[in-house]
Structure 1
Amino acid sequence: MARRIGIFGGTFDPVHIGHLRGALEIAEEFQFDELRLIPSARPPHRDTPQVSAADRLAMVELAVQGEASLRVDDRELRRDKPSYSIDTLESLRAELDADDQLFLLLGWDAFCGLPTWHRWAELLEHCHLLVLQRPDADSEAPEALRDLLAARSNNDPQAIDGPAGQIVFAWQTPLAVSATQIRQLLASGRSARFLVPDAVLAYIHTHGLYRAPN
């Protein structure tokens, strides 16, 4: 029987409750067999992460302990080049059964920026795109994506069939949490409790992460 697998990439610098709650909601709504959190090593469209790949991986692993639907996949950290999504998808596809469904989770802003991604037009050959929209995401998609949306959008998440090729949207209630906010709190000596899991916060303090430079 075909599996449903979601993939959710990010720097996770650090992983926080916004990442985790959103991932869990999507895993339940779309009845994923698993949702993989994939920390990126050198994201092409983002600033270099503040802490090491090993620390970010350890924090994500701590964060998902005990949650059966969430897994951690470190393949991008083992790759000695920028974290291009197309490379990750090709690598995953080589390991999956041909009829397994693969969903790449993207925020609305990231989706609108797809035309700037490496080999972006090939993404739908390997996966479905699951675009996470928030109530305040009222901007229109760029012209380069409008024909694609018209041809590939599916309004019924449960009706998606086949291993790849469709675009579906999911609404999410935003949690006003950001990794930038957490780093700033920690650098100023303030508490980030309840913004990250306790195990992650303990790791941050034990390893002296995100402190302001002396």
Structure 2
Amino acid sequence: MFFLTVIAVAVTFLLFNTDAETLLVDEKELLNDGILPIVGVFKTTERLWFYQQNMSSSLSNQCSMSQPCRVEETRCIVFMKHNITDNDIYFLKERKRTRGNNWTSSELHGTFLHDGNLGSMEVNYTGIHTDYPNDTEPWFQESAVLIYTEPNCSIVFMTPTRTGYPVCTMLIPDSAVDQGPTTNCSDRFNATCEGVPFLFYNETCKTKWMWTRLL
């Protein structure tokens, strides 16, 4: 619930700089091939970790760009691809509960769109959510606009349709997440998204996720 609260109340104060969308060499090559750069972000065999997200500075006076707050020590969120084409993706979102070592999962479908320089994705819930097994309504809907990407770090501007509040989110692949964001990615995040960064990933996330697969 804390994660949803962060999205719902925090980001009304965030400012989004649309001029921050610039094309890197790899992104230009993808566009030349007719493939949206946002497709390249999710077209990976690696897990994609939800690393950090911005929220209003009014919610904490103990956080800064140089020292992000941790949302909670045990909070971990990861995306895993099932199937992807140049037009859409089926993937799984897994989130660790705030207590214990239980994980909740959501089956999602994303449709890629030609919005912005780098593309966007409309995300919808498709399966049974483990928290709400009797809920068959499409309760999870979200738009995600890619504003920056490089091989080991991407920034997505997310807007859940239920709240309408946009959030800047950093995604890092499994092989690079323990090293944190690159300097370029961190600088772009700080320059594009105003507010206070909250760190969702911690060094125990991968271990805890792998341990649940052995049980």
- Same-fold status (TM-score > 0.5): no
Query: If each structure's strand is expressed as a fraction of its own residues, which one has the higher value?
Result: 2
* More helix per residue: 1
Larger Rg over CA atoms:
1
